[in-house]
Structure 1
Amino acid sequence: MVWMVNQQVPRGRTPIWGVALLCWVFIMLVTPKIPLSYKNHLYADMGNFVGVPNTLNVITNFPFLIVGVLGFVLCLGGGSFFNIRFF
């Protein structure tokens, strides 16, 4: 990954991003909200575990936490397996 530091953005791009942002804000304010059904919030793992509601929904995300922490340790630890350094 290459970090661009101390490089100037060409002058022509800034107004384009500003116009795009204003168009997006205008569209968000003018368009109506999309109605959502309560069925969208019925999760598969809504069971109670030890009296705590939705515990199984949270526990199923635990492997993602493990993989994320392992990725940070490998990237920031300076190991030889992943030679990625951000700082």
Structure 2
Amino acid sequence: MDRVAREELELLAGNVDEVCVSIYLPTHRAGMETQQGAIRLKNLLKKAEELRPLTSLRPAQMRALLEPAQNLITDTLFWQYQDEGLA
């Protein structure tokens, strides 16, 4: 699993002027379980959208923010090459 560098965490933590979404989920390396990651991600993204009213974002802005992660849901190649977790 790739580790996040301290500098990357500091950069993210210092980003207080914008809305950020952090998503963490377990993933699997092989087998039918690899499909569970996409389902978990879909559910977590839905939960993030439900929390939008707590932010300053309009619905279209939230969709644009989450779009890169939404695109991963149907990317079967992406899910076939996971390790033990995704952040």
**By percentage of residues, which structure has more helix?**
2
RCO (CA 8 Å, sep 6+): is it higher in 1 or 2? 2
**By percentage of residues, which structure has more strand?**
2
* TM-score, length basis structure 2: 0.28
